[in-house]
């Protein structure tokens, strides 16, 4: 077990180093950092001095080591657009994205699991067919189109929910939250539904197929033979055993929720990291792009690592498999 943990952790570090190399290459070679920092009237000598001062004349390997060293201390340089340290900008927008991701993940689990259980238990009811049809749309339609349709229905036609921004926010230390005010709660509904719809349909379909699989097994038949109530069988025995893959997928999907937040944040003008990253792509603001890349990969790699380890500690069958293989 320890060897497995160590190997996985080493792999994660390796992946992060590769990502850091890409981020560094972006930063160093795409567009001249000096040109972005100085005005047109700066002379050639001054540019050379700045180049020397910033260490851009050092060997590339030394520069890369410096880059990683600074990144470890959360120093990612200054944004070309905003002329402010990237770390500051990210810290300001981090809470907005995290709240959106958290609420939409919650939404997808709270709705997805019961819908999955229902469609598995009542395979032929019309409601199940409706759920499955809706899930097909949820999987097929692009996120931004769902967002626009929701805005059109709830913000433009019925005018019941706001279509942009976070509403009022409350400061809790460094964290600004919109979850404590009425307008903030109303503002998060449409973006969270937009972002969570795909995950919800995914979880629903997964729970459904896992439930169908489990309901066929012998121990469920045995439980029925023992005369247990349907409730106890369905929720105590069947659902419990479907949850391991659901936890894995939900965990891994957290990463893609953060990535797809870029789209949702743009549609709803949600002031999070995704919106800032997109503006950085539009304006070729490399420091923000490379920082976002590092941050998001850090989150992804951590999630993958945690899910891997959780999986092994939750499901003993996997441990045996690995030892044999």
Partner 1 sequence: MVEQLQVPPLRNEGRLAAALDSDLLHAFLRSRIAVAATLITVTLVLAAVFAPWIAPHDPFDLRQLNLLDSHLPPAWLADGDPRYLLGTDDQGRDVLSTILYGSRISLGVGILAVGLAAALGIVLGLIAGYAGGFLDALIMRIADVQLTFPAILIALLIDGTGRALFGEHRNETLEFWVLVLSIGLSFWVQYARTVRGSTMVEKSKDYVLAARLIGIHPAKILFRHVLPNVIGPVLVIATINLALAIITEATLSFLGVGLPPTQPSLGTLIRIGNNFLFAGEWWIAIFPGITLALLVVAINLLGDWLRDALNPRLQ
- CA atoms of 188 and 110, how far apart (whole Å): 16
CA distance 122 to 128: 7
Size of the site for partner 1 (CB under 8 A): 43
Give the binding range for partner 1 (CB under 8 A) out of 199-207, 216-224, 228-236, 295-303. 295-303
Residues 289 and 240: beta-carbon distance below 8 Å: no
The window from 115-123, 148-156, 169-177, 317-325 that contacts partner 1 (CB under 8 A) reads 148-156
Q: Do the beta carbons of residue 203 and residue 117 sit within 8 Å?
A: no
Give yes or no for residue 250 binding partner 1 (CB under 8 A): no
CA–CA separation, 284 and 264 (whole Å): 21
Regarding 136 and contact with partner 1 (CB under 8 A), the answer is yes
> Among 135, 155, 272, 147, which Cα is nearest to 206's?
135
Which of 20, 280, 294, 307 lies at the binding interface for partner 1 (CB under 8 A)?
Answer: 280
Residue 171's φ and ψ, nearest 5 degrees, are -90, 125
The rounded distance, in Å, linking the Cα atoms of 209 and 202 is 11
Closest separation in Å from C-beta 80 to partner 1:
10
Closer residue to partner 1, CB minimum distance, 38 or 180: 38
In angstroms, what is the minimal distance from the CB of 293 to partner 1? Answer: 7
Q: Evaluate whether 178 touches 271 at the Cβ level (below 8 Å).
A: no
Instruction: Return the structure tokens found at 76.
Output: 């990612």
CB of 89 to partner 1, least distance (A): 17
281 binds partner 1 (CB under 8 A): yes
Binding footprint of partner 1 on the chain (CB under 8 A): 15, 18-19, 26, 30-31, 136-137, 139-145, 148-149, 151-152, 156, 163, 255-256, 259-260, 262-263, 266-267, 277-278, 280-282, 284, 286, 289, 293, 296-297, 300-301, 304
């Amino acid at each position: 077990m320890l060897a497995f943990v160590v190997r996985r952790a080493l792999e994660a570090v390796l992946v992060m180093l590769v990502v850091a190399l890409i981020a560094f290459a972006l930063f160093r070679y795409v567009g001249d950092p000096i040109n972005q920092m100085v005005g047109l009237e700066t002379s050639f000598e001054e540019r050379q001095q700045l180049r020397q001062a910033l260490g851009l004349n050092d060997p590339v390997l030394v520069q890369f080591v410096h880059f990683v060293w600074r990144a470890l201390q959360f120093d990612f340089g200054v944004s070309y657009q905003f002329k402010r340290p990237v770390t500051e900008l990210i810290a300001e927008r981090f809470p907005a994205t995290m709240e959106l991701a958290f609420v939409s993940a919650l939404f997808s689990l709270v709705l997805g699991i019961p819908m999955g259980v229902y469609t598995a238990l009542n395979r032929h009811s019309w409601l199940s067919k409706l759920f499955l049809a809706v899930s097909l749309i949820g999987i097929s339609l692009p996120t931004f189109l769902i967002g626009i349709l929701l805005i059109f229905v709830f913000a433009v036609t019925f005018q019941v929910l706001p279509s942009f921004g976070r509403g009022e926010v409350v400061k809790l230390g460094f964290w600004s939250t919109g979850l404590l005010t009425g307008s903030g709660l109303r503002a998060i509904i449409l973006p969270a539904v937009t972002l969570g719809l795909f995950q919800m349909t995914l979880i629903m379909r997964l729970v459904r197929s896992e439930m169908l699989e489990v309901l066929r097994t012998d121990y469920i038949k045995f439980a029925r033979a023992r005369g247990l109530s349907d409730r106890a069988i369905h929720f105590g025995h069947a659902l419990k055993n479907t949850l391991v893959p659901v936890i894995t997928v939900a965990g891994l999907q957290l990463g893609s929720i953060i990535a797809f937040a870029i789209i949702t944040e743009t549609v709803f003008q949600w002031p999070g990291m995704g919106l800032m990253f997109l503006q950085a792509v539009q304006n070729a603001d490399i420091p923000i792009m490379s920082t976002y890349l590092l941050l998001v990969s850090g989150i992804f790699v951590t999630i993958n690592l945690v899910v891997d380890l959780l999986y092994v500690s939750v499901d003993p069958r996997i441990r045996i498999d690995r030892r044999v293989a």
